[in-house]
Chains A and B, each alone.
Chain A
């Protein structure tokens, strides 16, 4: 499961998700209001916050499909930088 920082950042890009409602692993982020511009801004925000860089191969709709898929990518990069 993701850390608090991730959830906090992600929620600011999900205008359709009420604060009291849980963010689940599989909900489509698009259905929660993540649009193209939000996606591009989210990318930059995550890179700054975690000091990581998404590879070109990770810049797909699939990566940004759900909180689960996105965290998987971020976590993968964190592991690479720490190992």
Chain B
């Protein structure tokens, strides 16, 4: 309905089919590079077979979860595809995940095996109970051995409906929640996105994001679908970001607004007229226009593609660059082969320009949350014409041509530095800090950083430091205020209007 590409994404393929097809077409093309080297598609395929054989030797079978807390390197990509071949379910978690959160993820996902950095083995073993925890430094020599023997797994069947990955995301409660991602839906989402983005064999995709985040994870799959090369740059110093983008000859750079700001700051310091970058792709939050302009100036000839989505369906929409002038506020059109529109509180479809909840239908909608039937039933509801309808919790409208416009949320969820989080979890962490009696959090808004307000006897800077010990970096507020008493509404809730005026009326 939107004049979209006519080609179709598949629903019946496995994620390792993407790799095998790329290898069949371009065996000697570069597939994946990290700080220490590079593999061709042929090499990555061989490593993934060795990883499969190694997992089999560890007794890992169909449906078993393999939790990995590893830096985003070539080894992790091999384990991703190796687990896929095995029919096992990879559970990638962020290397920055704190122990109390990790313990909850281990309990929730019940892995058969955990692989971490060698230095983390004893720490993670202590919280993983009976589960075997291995260090990559002992795992990899064994995989290398199998690679030298050109070993393969037994080739037990893996179907498109089988789970490939569990992606943990923030929920509105403190407990971790994973989106279940079957092979077929991941491949569909990947191919549908690529119909819009058009990754090509000559593309070098510079990925600053970890594979534990679905943004990074899908870049691995997208580069295989495009027969492109991925450069894994997570974990490198951001001070050399610009130099690395230039050195690697990157043509595509996925960004979130804060990363774009950094790239612009570095480019101002070291301007250059020539650039290999043809496309920046943004997600996570709205990209301010000055930042988008800054990127286009610093990288002449590049364009900025706006995207919108959530892990539950990977991506909702993409705004092609040729539509940006006509629809500057839009977050794009639904992926080809999918639908996205708005509904009222009773689930009735709304017309153009009518504000309602954004819902999504199509083969990219994942089947739900891992072992969380209530939350699943709330977000993934039966669609009138069969299949699932994802209730995103995002509110907005569509225009006459079906382009989406995001307006905001009506719950306590929001995104900061590209990461989804809730005021509830930050408030919970703040009240856990000794000396804090009560806490309230204001989500960020244009011109305003994420802010925490605490009632109690604590220094505002110390509060932030304490929060940084309890939360991932992206969830630590930029502004901290300690007040005698938190303002409440007549209903006893945090009075966000008064908090806002507190923020505007005081100096740091």
CB closest chain-A residue, reference B269: A44
- Stretch binding the partner chain, chosen from A2-10, A58-66, A74-82: A58-66
Within 8 A of A (CB), among B240-275: 240-241, 243, 258, 261-262, 265-266, 268-269
CB closest chain-B residue, reference A16: B465
- Stretch binding the partner chain, chosen from B25-33, B109-117, B456-464: B456-464
Q: How far is the CA of A59 from the CA of B460 in the complex (A)?
A: 31
Shortest CB distance B78–A (Å): 27
Residues of B within 8 A of A32 (CB): 465
Q: Does B478 contact A (CB under 8 A)?
A: yes
Q: Are A15 and B237 in contact (CB under 8 A)?
A: no
A15, A17, A64: which contacts B239 (Cβ < 8 A)?
Answer: A64
Residues of A within 8 A of B460 (CB): 18
Q: Are B464 and A33 in contact (CB under 8 A)?
A: yes
Q: Are A37 and B461 in contact (CB under 8 A)?
A: no
Shortest CB distance B468–A (Å): 7
Residues of B within 8 A of A40 (CB): 238-239, 241, 262, 265-266
Shortest CB distance A21–B (Å): 8
Q: Are B461 and A17 in contact (CB under 8 A)?
A: yes
Given A36-B238, A56-B243, A60-B239, also A15-B478 (CB < 8 A): yes
Within 8 A of A (CB), among B262-321: 262, 265-266, 268-269
Tally inter-chain residue pairs, CB-CB below 8 A.
57
Given A16-B461, A33-B465, also A44-B265 (CB < 8 A): yes
CB closest chain-A residue, reference B459: A18
What's the dominant secondary structure at chain B's contact region?
Answer: helix
Q: How far is the CA of A56 from the CA of B473 in the complex (A)?
A: 26
A16, A41, A44, A61: which contacts B237 (Cβ < 8 A)?
Answer: A61
Q: Are B261 and A37 in contact (CB under 8 A)?
A: yes
Q: Are B268 and A15 in contact (CB under 8 A)?
A: no
Q: Are A41 and B265 in contact (CB under 8 A)?
A: yes
Shortest CB distance B95–A (Å): 15
Bits for B212-252, please: 1 = Cβ < 8 Å to A, else 0: 00000000000000000000000001111101000000000
Q: Are B239 and A59 in contact (CB under 8 A)?
A: yes
Given A16-B464, A16-B468, A33-B465, also A60-B258 (CB < 8 A): no
Q: Does B480 contact A (CB under 8 A)?
A: yes
Shortest CB distance B473–A (Å): 6
Q: Are B262 and A59 in contact (CB under 8 A)?
A: no
Q: How far is the CA of A29 from the CA of B460 in the complex (A)?
A: 17
Residues of A within 8 A of B464 (CB): 15-16, 33
Using C-beta atoms within 8 Å of the partner chain, give the interface range for chain B: 20 to 34
Residues of A within 8 A of B476 (CB): 33
Residues of A within 8 A of B239 (CB): 39-40, 43, 59-61, 64
Q: How far is the CA of A81 from the CA of B365 in the complex (A)?
A: 60
Residues of A within 8 A of B238 (CB): 36-37, 39-40
Q: Does A72 contact B (CB under 8 A)?
A: no
Within 8 A of B (CB), among A28-60: 31-33, 35-37, 39-41, 43-44, 47, 56, 59-60
Q: How far is the CA of A30 from the CA of B459 in the complex (A)?
A: 19
Given A43-B269, A47-B269, also A36-B262 (CB < 8 A): yes
Residues of B within 8 A of A18 (CB): 459-462
Shortest CB distance A81–B (Å): 17
Shortest CB distance B259–A (Å): 8
Shortest CB distance A65–B (Å): 11
Shortest CB distance A32–B (Å): 7
Interface centre among A33, A36, A60, A61 (most CB of B within 10 A): A36
Residues of B within 8 A of A44 (CB): 265, 268-269
Q: How far is the CA of A33 from the CA of B477 in the complex (A)?
A: 10
Q: How far is the CA of A17 from the CA of B461 in the complex (A)?
A: 5
CB closest chain-B residue, reference A43: B239
CB closest chain-A residue, reference B264: A40
Shortest CB distance B183–A (Å): 34
Shortest CB distance A46–B (Å): 11
Residues of B within 8 A of A17 (CB): 461
Residues of A within 8 A of B237 (CB): 59-61
Residues of A within 8 A of B462 (CB): 16, 18
Q: How far is the CA of A15 from the CA of B460 in the complex (A)?
A: 9
Q: 11 A-B pairs, CB-CB below 8 angstroms?
A: A18-B462, A31-B468, A33-B461, A33-B468, A35-B473, A39-B239, A40-B266, A44-B268, A56-B240, A60-B237, A61-B237
Show the binding face of A for B, using Cβ within 8 Å.
Answer: 15-19, 21, 31-33, 35-37, 39-41, 43-44, 47, 56, 59-61, 64
Show the binding face of B for A, using Cβ within 8 Å.
Answer: 237-241, 243, 258, 261-262, 265-266, 268-269, 459-462, 464-465, 468, 473, 476, 478, 480
Further 8 A-B residue pairs, CB within 8 A, beyond A16-B465, A40-B265, A61-B239: A33-B461, A33-B465, A37-B258, A37-B261, A43-B269, A56-B243, A59-B237, A60-B239
Nearest 8 Cβ contacts at the A-B interface: A16-B465, A59-B239, A36-B238, A18-B461, A18-B459, A40-B262, A16-B464, A40-B265
